[in-house]
Structure 1
Amino acid sequence: MKTQGHKIFFLIALITFALGYSQIKISGKVTYKNKGISEVNITLKDTYDGATTDAQGNFSFETSEKGSHKITFTHPKYEDIEKEIGIENQDIIINADLKEQISEIDAVVVSAGSIEASDRKRATALLSPLDIYTTAGADGQITSALTYLPGVQKVGESEGLFIRGGTASESKIFMDGSLINNYFSNSVPGIAGRDQFNTSLFKGNIFSSGGYSALYGQALSGALMLESVDLPDQSSYNFGVSPIFLSGGFQKLGEQKNYSYGASLGYSLLSLMQNVFHFNTDFIDAPQGLNGDVNFRFKTKSGGFFKYYGMFNSNKMGVKTESLEPEYEFGLVRLKGKTMYHNLSFRQKFGKYLLNVGGSYSYNQSDLNFSTETNEIEDNHTKLLTDGNYVNFKTVLERKINRISAVRGGFELNNTNENLNFETVQKNYKDLISSAFIETDLGFSNALSAKIGVRAENSSYLGKSNIAPRFALAYRLSDKWTTNIAYGIFYQNPESKYINGPAALDFQKSQHYIFQLLKSSEGRSLRFEAFYKKYDQLIKTYSILPGKQQNQQIQTALNNDGYGYAKGLELFWRDNKKTFKNIDYWVTYSFLDSKRDFINYPVSLKPGFAAEHTLSAVVKRFIPEWKLGVNLSYTYAKGRPYYDIATELKNGEAVNYTRNEGRLKDYNALNISFNYVPSIGKKDAKSFTVFVLSISNVLGSKNVYGYNFSTNGSRSSAVVPPVNTFVFVGAFFSFGVDKTEDAINNNL
């Protein structure tokens, strides 16, 4: 009986134990916008119990836990959810509806009108310093490399960025947020000035061919924002040698890696190459220049960062051309140019706020001397002397709202003081442009974001103010496809070179409408963009003849009655070593329809700097076993129009009219460059060497940039490149840092 009682007691205890630890089933469904989500992790907090949702979002698991617990739902792309449940003796059904996780990595980025090289994640990340150096025909210049992107016209006779039917003055270039007023070197008419800034100075850039940020102003067409390097990885020394130039420099990094300083110096002279090649241009004084720069960078203990950069450049040249006037045999022009630039910037984070403060000073002097020659006797000397001082100050304060939303605002001051002395025309132009701006990035979801901004400006010279709203929207259609739209109003003062007398003037104005479709995948990108620009209040001018020589005309502002439009389509495709091993290539096509009635145009005309069709292709191939890079580039542009416009007096008023007009021959240029990276010195030595051979216009196409006309329009001469085909040979050496592998991997 006792034994039977023990059995009954043991059975009751066993049943009680089983009931106490019986398994309860927890199940449910996880959704996002009423659709099931797979791969969601469900966990009973502080236990090992849980499950993962299937393709339909369903889950189930069993637990022996009892009482009050918390259950969590987690997924990398969605916000975590935590719910409380009470576990008793019955199965539980619990559902969850997740919200999308807002992420800087996954969020769509507004990019209408812009190509950014500072963010390597994006398909439009293009013009890194290595991209520029290895683009055949770019000559290591940022602005030359940009002509192989959609939207930028190939205009060989003048420096500057001609963007979507806009003049070179309608695009502006900034360094660390501050305006560069003298980015290009001085030159003589018909020969383009060169970039004065070393490409390796910049770690990234954002090129906007329209619809750019409210943080920037005074540009009707586009903007190039350059970002200078911070601290170098280590100290280094470098020098370069070629038949054209000698250069050397160094960068010294502090032992604590919290500061660095450096300098470089270069000298160039073209006379040796004149003896080797047949030049179209008769240089009576071979182009030569002396340039140098210094920099200092310092990181504070509180995380702030100071950067200083200073540059100077002096250059001179002399050109002799056949005179178009019958009383003279030749025309001569000699140039002496001087430029200087200083840039100081500081950034510091204060909690949720980021402060950027920057300022720059630019000085530019151009001394042009015109004369004529008859029977080897010089006469009729005329001097055109211009000099300008420019000061820019800008401060921007930014606050993060969440991971992908932010608001930023600030103000900018841009002061100009220019002098011109040209025979009877003497002027001193002064203007202070004061600007305030505010802009916000709004991330509604990973698939939808917007940029909304407004900029206000006041010009002391014009005595007028403006307000310019700007808006852009980006939406991700799928994992690979994104669409963008943008709209903005942009204002710009009339060019000071036209303001040679009293005139009632106002801001020039443009409106941008942009639609972009972008496909991005690893190693490949496809971009389609359509745009429309409307111009109002463009400057109108008439010609005056201040010089002793009748062909020395200058344009003088009359009013703001000009207008115009530009519309077009652009296509860009890049395949970076994805389809073909070790081959990076891109192709661009631009269609441009533009007309303007501005400066001295008598009626609305297609601008002389705008080609209707432009096609470019860039191919880069690196052969690792030879340590040799082979780079090709090709550009075709439909012939641009040209005009011979004169001014005559009718009833006491200056009237412009067209005497001669036509269309240039189509532009063609095939360029090739070779970059050889040998192994020199010890295997583990910290050094880097590259030999460069570059040939521009390999096929020797005789391109024409335009025509000059005599005073009466009866004679003309073509404006052509200084040389049809040019060969550059050079060697560059760096010590203290070995970049060989980086060069190979990045297709140098």
Structure 2
Amino acid sequence: MKRYLLLSIFLLTGIVASAQSTISGKVTDDKGKPVSGASVYLDNTLDGGSSDSAGNFKFTTTETGNQVLVATDVAHENAGMPVTINGDLTGLAVKMKSTSRNLDEVTITAGSFEASDKNKTVLQPLDIVTTAGAQADIVKAIQTLPGTQQQGTQTGLFVRGGDASEAAVVVDGMIAQNAFLSAAPGVAARSRFGAFQFKGIAFSSGGYSARYGQALSSVLELNSNDLADKSTVNLGVNMAGVYASGTKLFKNTSVDATAYYNNLTPFYGLAKTNVSFYDVPKGGGGSAKYTWKPNKNGIFKALVNYSQFTSGTEVPNPNDASNNLRFGLTNQNVYSSLSYKQTFKDKWNLFVAGSYSYNEDKINWNSHGIDTPINNNDNRAQFRAEVKNYTTTRLSILLGTEIQNYTYNSTYNNIYKRNFTETSIAAYAEADWSAIHWLAIKPGVRYEHSVLLNQDVVAPRLAMGIKAGLYGQFSVAGGMFYQNADPMYLLSGYKPQMQEATHYIANYQYMHRDRTLRIEGYYKSYSQLLYERIKAAYQPAQPYYDASQYRVLSPMITDVDNSGYGYAAGAELFWRDKKSIKNADYWISYSYIDTRRLYKNYLAEVQPDFIANHNLNIVAKYFIEKLQTQVNVTYSYATGRPYYNPANPTFLGDRTPDYNNLSVTVNYLRSIGKWFTVIYAGVDNITNAKNVFGYRYDASGNRYEMRPALYRSVFVGINFSLTAFDKDEL
């Protein structure tokens, strides 16, 4: 039934998911008794599952050819057997020898949520696209996990006190410079990625690996799908547009292609919008991917993606809220990447990747019929090389390097031009050492050099895990993290030193029989943050805070240095249960944060205006077999956040109302011959709660609300698969 649902939701997102083989069998001990709770997986892959109370296991994989099936359990020696995958494998018998050992090997979990890892599965691609209110957006679904903030008027991932610039999105080891769609000020945009493009999704809310840098708070790591094992064609139509996708499988290669066109006129036509569009968002694009598997331990991927969108939005005039400004936007984005991964004799692993991306935003501000054009474009070229040695079964060592070169250009009113180019060079080393089966240690260090800033930094990292009982463990993680200034400062000619954050994280996690409990606490200190100081000759009579992302910075008027600072401390809870109710799955996440900072043009050290102290998410999913229908519900709550009131002598001393959102989606599945059809409908914010994310004041002191584009939205669509499949697979 899970496979039935997987196929249905894959079609909902319009993304081609690789066909999978089902691997099933039974795990028994040396006396023939079933072994429950054993981890069963394909060696050197992310594919696996757990045995149930009868010892039975079942999971799906996109791997083919000769593989090794491995079984591990706390009370038995590891077992393995060779298998050849050319389709489904059933009736496999795995025998394990009993051992006196009563503790399984430990895995480090502090600060990290991973999907597809056999030991740390928390959310999978299917979970992401079936989360009500997420609209199949990876980042929206991640916002139901602890440590994140709900956003309705700002774009990006806000994690543990950090703003959107502090979270990096990585695709196949490459930084995604423009991970989100472009949008008008005050309109939140979704990410560019779909869940089923990826076999692995790892979200680190802090203390992340030495492989990555230039992110003070968080890394969202996405690893794309491998070789497909079936040719497919899919079509769909919904209130936002139409799409087509297909995969052609050859002997050891596959070619994927997608094309789509979106026009949000029907979507916005069903409800009154909080934002006035004089040109409703519309556009389209496509992608192509080539995958080659030269041998069973190597894989090559080549990807190119192109998109173009236009929109026209009326936004409040910051000087006179009774009048709107017109914000016209045309966006073009190109992303391409190449990667190759090879394992040699199960002892060495080589990974090489490169990418190039280009993004252009043509903006036109119109006030009282006068146009002010702005052209922003940027490009990034990257290269990464890594080698990993599996020295022993308990020790592996990773060495790597990366080079990034990126350029930003901005032209204002066809006259005023600004630009900068940065080259960043990094080298890193990291070890995974399981000294004994109940202890894991992961030390690392990263070196970075900035050519633009002429600065070198060294960032040590350390993580540890200690097993606590059969199904629980304690983990800690920490380290130093650096990041360049926001491009708006570098474009204005400033060259401040890198900003710094130090992370301290500790957690306890319990996982058993499809139930997960996770409790985590953290402390993060900020130093060397950017801080603006208006020069004495230009000081206003009264201190004034300008919240606009388009405010003008000039070295003639404002000095910028690294005297900013701050902290973030918090406690988080995550509980997930897929066992207690048949065909049901739910999770609860809660976060508390205490954070203050003095940075940018803040007038004092305060809680930032993008932070709510308390965040709660309840996600539930239930499949009704008789009706072939799944119902998904998400409830999100957050306390009010600070906003700037110029009449209040306490900077950011006022609070917005609390945030409430209840969302529901229903998916109806139907098979008509060899055609597979999914009809879906969803309502976001079903109670039509009037959520407000802040307030602004114009020059006359008139207040206006920062509201999402829609309070309540309705979305309906239908999808078709032209791929034949066996009814027994559902």
Give the TM-score band, short-chain normalised.
0.7 to 0.9
How far is the alpha carbon of 1:497 from its aligned partner? Answer: 1.5
1:664-722 Cα deviation digits (max 9, x unpaired): 111000000001111212xxx3x432111010000000001122332x36122111111
Task: Write the letter of the residue equivalent to 1:364.
Answer: N
After TM superposition, where is structure 1 displaced by more than 6 Å over at least 4 residues in a row?
Answer: 98-103, 657-660, 739-742
1:584-613 Cα deviation digits (max 9, x unpaired): 000000000000000100110101111100
1:644-667 Cα deviation digits (max 9, x unpaired): 689xxxxxxxxxx98775211110
In structure 2, C-alpha distance between the alignment counterparts of 1:108 and 1:628, rounded to whole Å: 39
SS in 2 for 1:401: strand
Task: Write the letter of the residue equivalent to 2:523.
Answer: Y
1:503-554 Cα deviation digits (max 9, x unpaired): 4511100000000000110110100000000000011136899xxx998623
Please say if residues 107 and 119 of structure 2, whose CA atoms lie closer than 8 Å, have aligned partners that are also in contact.
no
Q: Which residue of 1 aligns with 2:639?
A: 638
What TM-score do the two structures reach when normalised by structure 1? 0.80
How far is the alpha carbon of 1:625 from its aligned partner? Answer: 0.9
Q: Which residue of 1 aligns with 2:161?
A: 165
Task: Write the letter of the residue equivalent to 1:565.
Answer: Y
In structure 1, C-alpha distance between the alignment counterparts of 2:687 and 2:534, rounded to whole Å: 40
The alpha-carbon distance between structure 1 residues 726 and 303, as it changes in their structure 2 partners (threshold 3 A), is same
SS in 1 for 2:620: strand
In structure 2, C-alpha distance between the alignment counterparts of 1:294 and 1:542, rounded to whole Å: 48
How far is the alpha carbon of 1:133 from its aligned partner? Answer: 1.1
Q: Does 1:246 align with 2:205?
A: no
Please say if residues 242 and 731 of structure 1, whose CA atoms lie closer than 8 Å, have aligned partners that are also in contact.
yes
Identical residues among aligned pairs (%): 35
In structure 2, C-alpha distance between the alignment counterparts of 1:117 and 1:79, rounded to whole Å: 23
Please say if residues 127 and 204 of structure 1, whose CA atoms lie closer than 8 Å, have aligned partners that are also in contact.
no
Task: Write the letter of the residue equivalent to 1:407.
Answer: I
What TM-score do the two structures reach when normalised by structure 2? 0.82
Give 1:707's match in structure 2, choosing from 695, 703, 706.
695
Matches within 5 A, 1:172-251: 172-251=168-247
Q: CA RMSD in A?
A: 2.7
The alpha-carbon distance between structure 1 residues 713 and 233, as it changes in their structure 2 partners (threshold 3 A), is farther
Give 1:460's match in structure 2, choosing from 448, 451, 476.
451
1:260-301 Cα deviation digits (max 9, x unpaired): 001001111111233322111110000112121110000114
SS in 2 for 1:554: coil
In structure 1, C-alpha distance between the alignment counterparts of 2:727 and 2:586, rounded to whole Å: 21
Please say if residues 498 and 541 of structure 1, whose CA atoms lie closer than 8 Å, have aligned partners that are also in contact.
no
SS in 1 for 2:404: strand
Give 1:109's match in structure 2, choosing from 107, 110, 134.
107
SS in 1 for 2:567: strand
Please say if residues 75 and 102 of structure 2, whose CA atoms lie closer than 8 Å, have aligned partners that are also in contact.
no
Larger Rg: 1
Aligned residues: 625
Task: Write the letter of the residue equivalent to 2:624.
Answer: I
Give 1:729's match in structure 2, choosing from 711, 716, 727.
716
1:602-659 Cα deviation digits (max 9, x unpaired): 110101111100000000000011100000001000011112689xxxxxxxxxx987
How far is the alpha carbon of 1:183 from its aligned partner? Answer: 1.1
In structure 2, C-alpha distance between the alignment counterparts of 1:527 and 1:733, rounded to whole Å: 39
The alpha-carbon distance between structure 1 residues 558 and 228, as it changes in their structure 2 partners (threshold 3 A), is same
In structure 2, C-alpha distance between the alignment counterparts of 1:689 and 1:326, rounded to whole Å: 51
Q: Which residue of 1 aligns with 2:474?
A: 483
How far is the alpha carbon of 1:310 from its aligned partner? Answer: 1.2
Please say if residues 234 and 737 of structure 1, whose CA atoms lie closer than 8 Å, have aligned partners that are also in contact.
no
Q: Which residue of 1 aligns with 2:274?
A: 280
Task: Write the letter of the residue equivalent to 1:140.
Answer: A
Q: Does 1:296 align with 2:286?
A: no
Q: Does 1:330 align with 2:330?
A: no
Q: Which residue of 2 aligns with 1:628?
A: 629
Please say if residues 543 and 554 of structure 1, whose CA atoms lie closer than 8 Å, have aligned partners that are also in contact.
no
Q: Which residue of 2 aligns with 1:139?
A: 135
In structure 2, C-alpha distance between the alignment counterparts of 1:620 and 1:264, rounded to whole Å: 29
Please say if residues 406 and 423 of structure 2, whose CA atoms lie closer than 8 Å, have aligned partners that are also in contact.
yes
Q: Which residue of 1 aligns with 2:465?
A: 474
Q: Which residue of 1 aligns with 2:541?
A: none
In structure 2, C-alpha distance between the alignment counterparts of 1:514 and 1:664, rounded to whole Å: 30
| Greater Cα offset, 534-543 or 107-116 | 534-543
The alpha-carbon distance between structure 1 residues 117 and 695, as it changes in their structure 2 partners (threshold 3 A), is same
In structure 2, C-alpha distance between the alignment counterparts of 1:436 and 1:713, rounded to whole Å: 53
Q: Which residue of 1 aligns with 2:666?
A: 674
Q: Which residue of 2 aligns with 1:94?
A: none
Q: Which residue of 1 aligns with 2:54?
A: none
Task: Write the letter of the residue equivalent to 1:640.
Answer: R
Q: Which residue of 2 aligns with 1:58?
A: none
SS in 2 for 1:195: coil
SS in 1 for 2:215: coil
Q: Which residue of 2 aligns with 1:118?
A: 116
The alpha-carbon distance between structure 1 residues 645 and 227, as it changes in their structure 2 partners (threshold 3 A), is farther
Please say if residues 436 and 457 of structure 1, whose CA atoms lie closer than 8 Å, have aligned partners that are also in contact.
yes
More RCO (CA 8 Å, sep 6+)? 2
Task: Write the letter of the residue equivalent to 2:691.
Answer: N
Please say if residues 79 and 101 of structure 1, whose CA atoms lie closer than 8 Å, have aligned partners that are also in contact.
no
SS in 2 for 1:461: coil
In structure 2, C-alpha distance between the alignment counterparts of 1:695 and 1:550, rounded to whole Å: 32
The alpha-carbon distance between structure 1 residues 327 and 536, as it changes in their structure 2 partners (threshold 3 A), is closer
How far is the alpha carbon of 1:328 from its aligned partner? Answer: 7.7
Please say if residues 100 and 446 of structure 1, whose CA atoms lie closer than 8 Å, have aligned partners that are also in contact.
no
How far is the alpha carbon of 1:108 from its aligned partner? Answer: 0.8
How far is the alpha carbon of 1:445 from its aligned partner? Answer: 1.5
In structure 1, C-alpha distance between the alignment counterparts of 2:704 and 2:490, rounded to whole Å: 29
In structure 1, C-alpha distance between the alignment counterparts of 2:152 and 2:321, rounded to whole Å: 30
Q: Does 1:535 align with 2:526?
A: yes
Q: Which residue of 2 aligns with 1:603?
A: 604
In structure 2, C-alpha distance between the alignment counterparts of 1:421 and 1:79, rounded to whole Å: 62
SS in 2 for 1:130: helix
In structure 2, C-alpha distance between the alignment counterparts of 1:697 and 1:535, rounded to whole Å: 35
Give 2:430's match in structure 1, choosing from 411, 426, 439.
439
Give 2:655's match in structure 1, choosing from 649, 663, 672.
663
How far is the alpha carbon of 1:367 from its aligned partner? Answer: 1.5
Task: Write the letter of the residue equivalent to 1:313.
Answer: S
Task: Write the letter of the residue equivalent to 1:418.
Answer: Y
The alpha-carbon distance between structure 1 residues 120 and 677, as it changes in their structure 2 partners (threshold 3 A), is farther
1:31-87 Cα deviation digits (max 9, x unpaired): xxxxxxxx999xxxxxxxxxxxxxxxxxxxxxxxxxxxxxxxxx974699xxxxxxx
